[in-house]
Structure 1
Amino acid sequence: MSLADEMLQAAMDRKPFRATMYGLPGWDDQVEDLSVEGEQALRSRIADILRRAETSDDDPVTLAVIEHQGRSIVDRIDARLVEHTVATGMNAPVNSLLLIASKLDVSQRLDRIPPYIDQAGERIRNSDRKPLRRHLHTGIQRTESFLASQRQEWEGDHSTEIRTAVAGFRDVLASVEDARGDDQPGLCWLPEGEQNYANLVRNYTTTSHTPEELHRLGLDLIASLREEYAEIGSRVWGTSDVPEIFRRLRTELLWDNEEQMVSSAVEAIARAEAEAPNWFSRMPKVGCEVRPVAEEERKTAPIAFYLPAPQDGSRPGTYWLNPLGATERSRTLSEVTAFHEAIPGHHYQLSIAAETDMHDIRRFAFIEAYLEGWGLYTERLADEMGLYSSDEQRLGMLGTDAMRAGRLVVDTGLHALGWTRQQAVDYLRENTVMPEPEINAEIDRYIETPGQALAYMVGRLEIQRLRAEAEARMGDRFDIRAFHDLVVGSGAVPLSTLDRIVTAWTASP
């Protein structure tokens, strides 16, 4: 078995639901081992692979991916995130299970789900890393909502055992004493927090930037975005006053209903698909559909997310859209989010990589700086492609740019600089057009997934830099379609590795 095979096996043993999502055979009856013993055994196994990779003469790009995937898993295990990640999103083990179980085939692992839930509770019960009090309340509400719902089809004939385990997990959350308050939300308040955060920053960004450097970068980007807001605001409303533009974006241009939100996304993706051949030589073979999140999942599901098609093509790639609170949300965010999550964003990125003949460790590696950097890059690319239907929608593009720049400020503020939760909320309120519910949801996400939010803007800026340098080096030889094919066709790689790939391409005849 090659080192790439071994690391793929370890990575998917760590996240078997991800293997099922991609359609990789061999993990459909597995769940993650959340126990301390299980995590430490996996850590030792990965450390051995990493030691052997240091002296390997395998393909340098594949080795770089192996090293990144291994270090990422080790650093997440060391940070013991499972012990204080209890609320919303895809990183809280129990909420993630309840969110994706209806979207994947879990029929072969139903008997393993109750012990998995029990392990999550056991880790929280015995930990010195206490969750936030507000996150405990959210986790309790989520589990109680599931318990109050009718039996769902995915539960099969194990519904009683699964619901008993969920009830036990709820009771664990309710029993936690000395939970952290909103004045101590970041990793810097937990044991080994400063080092754990530095490790996570390195892995999520695949760079050597310090939290302090990223904090300053975010502040500078926020300042420059205000100039663009003033320019477009002058055309839309006849005012360059940024606070006034923010006020109007928060209170005007809202959706009339949920159906309008979904249909807008469908129309935007159709336009993108029609224009894409002018910017990509290679198109994914699998299609992309838009689907609203189920009613019972909307309170804890992300605002929008993408699930790739499995390898067997049994379903298309799916852009899941959460219409919760549609009439209180700006319709200016519709198109930019669709371009990021679907076309030419994650759908093209993940589908094209999956259709290559690279090793699976390259096709399915989870490297956020590359993955989310591409998604954010395509938001600006969509403007070059002429996909935004109006200046109002371009304001939405600026809105997501500001959110990602703001993430650099608040993620580092929370986890490295000791900010309170309210400081982070106030910063996003002052410097973005995000509505209050979204600000609160985002801040809670950053608290529970330290460092992940940094990947977007760091990755976007690096892809833009590589493109600009390639254009300068190649002159008339530069082909934007070939550049995009190269970036998405290389699979997920660390940013330093992507630099070497693009540099070699520019030097070729």
Structure 2
Amino acid sequence: MAANTIGLHYTLKDPSAYDIVQAPVTYGSFSTNTTGMMASLENSLSALSHYHYEDLTDENKLTYDILESYLQTAQKGAPYLLYEEPLGEITGIQAQLPVLLAEYPFHDIKDVDTYLSLLSCTPDYFNSLISFEKEKADSGLFIPDSTVDAVVDQCSSFVDMKDSNYLLTTFDERLSKIPGLSSTVKRNYQKKNQEMIANAVVPAYESLIDALLELRGSGKNKKGVCYFPNGKEYYSYVVERDTGSPRSVSEIKKLIHDQISSDLLSIQTLLSKDPELASRPVSAEAPPDKSDIFLQNQIDRNQPEQILTLLEQKSSAAFPAPPDVTAQVKYVPNAMEPYLSPAFYMIPAIDDQSENVIYINQSRNVDTLKLFTTLAHEGYPGHLYQTTYFAEKNTEPLRSIFNFSGYVEGWATYAEMCSYYLSPLPKDQAALFQKNGSLTLGLYAAADIGIHYDGWSVPDTVRFFSDYGIKDTDAIQEIYNLILSDPGNYLKYYVGYLEFMELKKKAMKIDGDEFSQKNFHRAVLDVGPAPFDIVSKYAVDR
């Protein structure tokens, strides 16, 4: 935990309660030491094997199974350290770091001192990142120019903020909440923060810009990772790691295409019954509007906390009761809107789940229906709900260090799909929008495999989307570039969602007339983030 100050601080409000004291202030670094990683993983698996599995409690058997699976999967990825890309367009460090710094909690004055020390480490951290990217370039594994350009644009936007940088305003806001600080002390801290932003953080971003522009053109592969040496093997590992699915890439591809076909059939059936269903107004982009069904039901997109409360209430029929926590909705700074995802949930510390924050990107949520389903994904019954629910049930801190994004994002996508039926839309309209949402995400997931595993070119991708009536070549080029920069990203959402649907089908078959949605949801949520074969073992099969 102490290897990364941001990770430590976000995970534990009080590290000393877990015997973590005098932790170094560091962002961590980027390693290419495959031999060292393999040795570390082998040692961990060897240590784990000395526990007598049959003597463990059920809870510890679950932790054992998860840890063993996690380490074994990591072993598969160890040979591919240089294939990893920390500069993705959406999930890259350059986009995520400012938000993580802006939300870094100040519980007391020691946190402020640690934060400022961390800012001073930014140049060294970015130098480590630059060295990693140079080694990728030397190995023929550097990112394509389209990704370079997108990342440089993001970094330039951050640099251009200057005195309006939101790391200045958010620092002042957090500092003001610490009781007992004199005006002089506050001014001194504010001045120190300004100096760190100007002399450490911004220059680090400028160095990254310079390095990327210098390396531009080094990325010879302008298509999917399958064109790298052993690229298919690497992508198979990414899919296993990021989806948590026990299926092969070929089996996952079939699962995706089967769902696409099912969604298309459902859409055709709904439209054959009511051809005007798709064109009937739902929610206006510029309310008030009499045709806005949401406004008719007193749901105002300008009050997102109100929508969260409504979603929490409406989820109670099919989902176990959530813990009593607070949630705050914030908006992504205007300058960062083009570069960040539509929304994201800031996971709270495991020893203090009381305060939760959801960021909304207003440029990506243009109507109330989109905002409603987005808040379901990030809030109730999505990320906020699953995180705080599991934290209340889980007694094993070790579980918090794992990253099973297929389970986490799959659940949130599942929650998003459920939310269409929690909205005020008529049933057929809700079904149409839900199937269309599933279909769209399914096409992105299919394209992810097509580009990175099957080797699709841009024309191949254009032909694929054209078969489904999407013919805007500029938009498809953007989709191609986005998928190119972040292999497997769409799969963790969509395949995770499909795996939850498969688990539900399995539970319905086993339970028959005794099946209960609430009991199913409780079972999978009680297991918590894990690979899906383990979720099935503990939640459905027993």
1:116 paired with 2:94, answer no
Change (3 A) 1:325 1:210: closer
1:381-400, aligned counterparts within 5 Å?
381-383=418-420, 386-390=422-426, 392-400=429-437
Mapped to 2, the partners of 1:438 and 1:23 lie a distance apart of 42
- Secondary structure in 2 aligned to 1:278? coil
Alignment match, 1:65: 66
Alignment match, 1:447: 484
- Secondary structure in 1 aligned to 2:52? coil
Mapped to 1, the partners of 2:332 and 2:287 lie a distance apart of 15
Change (3 A) 1:150 1:73: farther
Alignment match, 2:158: 146
Cα displacement (A) at 1:413: 0.7
Q: Does the CA contact (< 8 Å) of 1:288 and 1:318 recur in 2?
A: yes
Where structure 2 has 5 or more consecutive residues not aligned to the other structure, the ranges are 54-59, 106-114, 172-192, 289-294
When the two structures are aligned, how many residues end up with a matched partner?
480
Query: Cα deviation per residue 1:194-226 (whole Å; 9 max; x = unaligned)?
Result: 211111122223334232332233223222211
Cα displacement (A) at 1:460: 2.4
Q: Out of 19, 22, 38, which is 2:11 matched to?
A: 22
Q: Out of 439, 443, 458, which is 2:495 matched to?
A: 458
1:153-168, aligned counterparts within 5 Å?
153=168, 156-159=194-197, 160-168=199-207
- Secondary structure in 2 aligned to 1:299? helix
Cα displacement (A) at 1:416: 0.9
Between 165-174 and 269-278, report the one with greater CA deviation. 269-278
Change (3 A) 1:136 1:400: same
Mapped to 2, the partners of 1:146 and 1:380 lie a distance apart of 34
Between 435-444 and 24-33, report the one with greater CA deviation. 435-444
Alignment match, 1:279: 318
Alignment match, 1:365: 402
1:74-473, aligned counterparts within 5 Å?
74-76=75-77, 78-80=79-81, 84-90=85-91, 92-105=92-105, 106-127=115-136, 128=139, 129-151=141-163, 152-153=167-168, 156-159=194-197, 160-180=199-219, 184-233=222-271, 238=276, 255-256=285-286, 262-263=301-302, 265-313=304-352, 316-324=355-363, 329=366, 332-363=369-400, 365-383=402-420, 386-390=422-426, 392-421=429-458, 423-424=460-461, 427-428=464-465, 431=468, 443-473=480-510
Alignment match, 2:185: none
Alignment match, 1:502: 539
Change (3 A) 1:64 1:314: closer
Q: Does the CA contact (< 8 Å) of 1:288 and 1:319 recur in 2?
A: yes
Percentage of matched positions with identical amino acids = 17
Cα displacement (A) at 1:336: 2.4
Q: Alpha carbon RMSD of aligned pairs, Å?
A: 3.5
Change (3 A) 1:488 1:429: farther
Q: Does the CA contact (< 8 Å) of 2:462 and 2:471 recur in 1?
A: no
Q: Does the CA contact (< 8 Å) of 2:144 and 2:217 recur in 1?
A: no
Name the amino acid aligned to 1:403: T
Cα displacement (A) at 1:186: 1.1
Cα displacement (A) at 1:22: 3.2
- Secondary structure in 1 aligned to 2:329? strand
Cα displacement (A) at 1:451: 2.2
Name the amino acid aligned to 1:348: Y
Alignment match, 2:524: 487
Name the amino acid aligned to 1:293: V
Cα displacement (A) at 1:89: 1.9
Mapped to 2, the partners of 1:449 and 1:119 lie a distance apart of 21
- Secondary structure in 2 aligned to 1:280? coil
- Secondary structure in 2 aligned to 1:470? helix
Mapped to 2, the partners of 1:389 and 1:424 lie a distance apart of 34
Q: Does the CA contact (< 8 Å) of 2:452 and 2:487 recur in 1?
A: yes
Q: Does the CA contact (< 8 Å) of 2:123 and 2:204 recur in 1?
A: yes
Mapped to 1, the partners of 2:418 and 2:320 lie a distance apart of 16
Q: Does the CA contact (< 8 Å) of 2:32 and 2:81 recur in 1?
A: no
Mapped to 2, the partners of 1:123 and 1:497 lie a distance apart of 34
Change (3 A) 1:395 1:293: farther
Q: Does the CA contact (< 8 Å) of 2:126 and 2:204 recur in 1?
A: yes
Q: Out of 29, 36, 44, which is 1:33 matched to?
A: 29
Alignment match, 1:46: 41
Between 477-486 and 369-378, report the one with greater CA deviation. 477-486
Mapped to 2, the partners of 1:255 and 1:330 lie a distance apart of 5
Name the amino acid aligned to 2:362: P
Name the amino acid aligned to 2:45: L
Name the amino acid aligned to 1:50: L
- Secondary structure in 2 aligned to 1:126? helix
Mapped to 2, the partners of 1:75 and 1:256 lie a distance apart of 50
- TM-score of the aligned structures, taking structure 2 as reference length: 0.78
